[in-house]
Chains A and B, each alone.
Chain A
Amino acid sequence: MSAASFHDASPAIELINVNRRFLSPDGKSFATLNEFNLSVARGEFVALVGPTGCGKSTTLNLITGLGKPSSGEVRVMGQAVNGIDPRIGFVFQADALFPWRTVIDNVVAGPLFRGRSKTDAYAAGRDWLKRVGLGKFEHHFPHQLSGGMRKRVALAQTFINGPEILLMDEPFSALDAQTRVLMHEELLNLWSTTKAAVVFVTHDLEEAIALADKVYVLTARPATVKAIHTIDIPRPRILADIRYQSHFIEISKRIWQDLREEVQFGADATEAA
């Protein structure tokens, strides 16, 4: 801990002048991130919005260590990323639960992989299932649950490891609108007890504003930061009617000005390709 305390003032996540190039199947190299800079303070909730396919998910991969930058630096808690950091939790867009495991066995996967004792892990697992309101479903299989319930399991599966950094890649995009608002509330509740630093990738501007402290608008590919908007809506936020408040609409209009050009540009580029 002594080494960590030295870095205590450092941001939870830093991307400094990061470039990332990919090889297409026919051997051509193309850029997905261009001189990308991002800084997330500890306990801060940051949302990344940008046109489809602009490289939002790539940034998350770099933070987990599953992907490496072509140049530039990625730092987590003040240290260069080297492999998968156990302090990171990740909620995926796709259903990433293990379908052959029951709900409780899915939730305890992390603790067991990390070497916690079985009794310990299952006690914690039941506790987390109760917190996400699925206490009665521990012996169900994922396919027996609704999409929203599966996402709750995914949240429990991630939060049980006590992540200090939480990465979310369009986690609720497959849900219907009503369920999505419920999940936003659930997420903010869980987050307020842990105060992890969050990077939340989405293409839904309202979702970004409702949840985040800061919204980063990214350009079309290759992605770079176009603008950073601070969302000064006080917490705790009442999500059910937040989007009808005039201040929310004002912010939303302001960010949309930035985003619209990029979305248009991205769409043109896709059509031309």
Chain B
Amino acid sequence: MNNIAIGTGGSILYAPGTSDAEIEAAAVAAAIRHNRLVIIWRLTILALLLGTWEVFARTGIIDSFFYSYPSAIAARLYELITEGTDEASLWYHLYITMEEALIGFLFGSVFGVLFGVALGRNKMASDVLSVYIKVLNAIPRVVLAPIFILLFGFGLWSKVALSFVMVFFVVFSNAFQGVREADRAMIANAQILGASKWALTRDVIIPSAMSWIFASLHISFGFAIVGAIVGEFIGSRYGIGFIIQTARGVHDTAEMYAAIVIIVIVVLGAEWIMTRIEERLARWRPPALNDSNG
């Protein structure tokens, strides 16, 4: 339905006597043309970028040692997928990184929501603890990576811990803000309708903070991956970060870029899944005015 609206935004003048069916058919056709044009342009730009890169690298305008070139990266990507690295298959590396990121993401977001809602509902606690949260939040998360490696070793848990702290503060501050922004009239309404304190939190505060929380989940999944990969840079035996780190050791830039491509695909996939879940949960919201269909 949205597509039709996008295609017919202008004020098209129809000849007198044009039937509704004809106008609708014209609108559908216009929408299809529009979408096709968008896709064509996207592909053109991609081809131009990759083509320029390839040509520049091959002709020596940019140094292919540092920048590699698309065809080499594609070949390396194919090798990674089919043969893996000396240590393990690509899928095992990916599994390790995803395991670290997902566990960190899960715990980080659950605790972030719990603490955000609890402090958002309790002014005394939030006034007392806010100073500590500010201090903790001021620590650049990655400086904790070496400490976590010392504490939890080279395995899973040091990366989980890093992903956790990356995710926790983002989700926490959004959940907190969402609780604070909950509509006053709506809260008063629930109270007068007879909601207990707990019912108020469960049925009014948390649902109204949900759009804030979801916004933070979108960003923080990327952060969870950052946490896992930085952890792997510092010390690990498997993982996408490990692939990049070893490739750097042997100056295999194509492999570094190939690993980046893999991570980009994973994050985009996760983003897509999260958007679908959000759409499911947010059926109550009025549809967005211009929905991108990419």
Do A and B share a complex? yes
Interface residues of A in 94-112 (CB under 8 A from B): 94-102, 109-110
Residue contact A96 to B285, C-beta cutoff 8 Å = no
Contact flags (1/0) for B86-122 with A, using CB distance below 8 Å? Answer: 0000000000000000000000000000000000000
Q: Are A141 and B284 in contact (CB-based, < 8 A)?
A: yes
Contact A114 B284 (CB under 8 A): no
Do B207 and A98 touch across chains, with their CB atoms under 8 A apart? yes
How far is the CB of A19 from the nearest CB of chain B, in Å? 22
B183: A residues at CB distance < 8 A: 94, 96
Q: Report the stretch among A47-55, A82-90, A216-224, A242-250 that lies at the interface.
A: A82-90
Residue A34 is within 8 A (CB to CB) of chain B in the complex: no
CB nearest neighbor in B for A83: B191
Residues facing B in A105-139 (CB within 8 A) are 109-110, 113-114
Is A31 part of the contact surface with B, judged by Cβ < 8 Å? no
Q: Kindly list chain A residues whose C-beta atoms are within 8 Å of the C-beta of B142.
A: none
In the assembled complex, A157 has its CB within 8 A of some CB on chain B = yes
Check B188 against A113 for contact (C-beta < 8 Å): no
Do A109 and B190 touch (CB < 8 A)? Answer: yes
Chain B residues near A96 (CB-CB < 8 A)? 183, 185-186, 188-189
Interface of A, helix, strand, loop or mixed by DSSP: loop
Contact, CB under 8 Å: B284 / A64 = no
Residue of A nearest to B282 (CB): A100
- A66, B188: Cβ atoms closer than 8 Å: yes
Q: Which residues of A contact B284 (CB under 8 A)?
A: 99-102, 141-143
Q: B283 interface residue, CB < 8 Å from A?
A: yes
State the Cβ distance, A117 to closest chain B Cβ, in Å.
15
CB interface residues, B 145-184, toward A, < 8 Å: 183
Q: Assess whether B199 is in contact with A113, with CB atoms less than 8 Å apart.
A: yes
Least CB distance, B186 to chain A, in whole angstroms: 5
Q: Which residue of A lies closest to B286 (CB)?
A: A143
Instruction: Give the docked Cα–Cα distance between A94 and B187 (Å).
Output: 12
- The smallest C-beta distance from A258 to any residue of chain B, in angstroms, reads 30
Please state if B191 and A84 are interface contacts (CB–CB under 8 Å): yes
Question: With A98-B203, A101-B284, A143-B285 known to touch, is A110 a contact of B194 (CB < 8 Å)?
Answer: yes
Closest 5 CB pairs of A and B: A96-B189, A113-B194, A110-B193, A94-B185, A100-B284
Q: Could you write out 28 A-B pairs with CB less than 8 Å apart?
A: A64-B188, A64-B192, A66-B192, A84-B191, A84-B192, A89-B192, A90-B188, A90-B189, A90-B192, A93-B185, A94-B185, A96-B183, A96-B186, A96-B188, A97-B186, A98-B204, A98-B207, A99-B285, A100-B208, A100-B282, A109-B190, A109-B193, A109-B203, A113-B194, A113-B196, A143-B284, A143-B285, A157-B193
Chain A positions within 8 Å of B, measured between CB atoms, are: 64, 66, 84, 86, 88-90, 92-102, 109-110, 113-114, 141-143, 157, 161
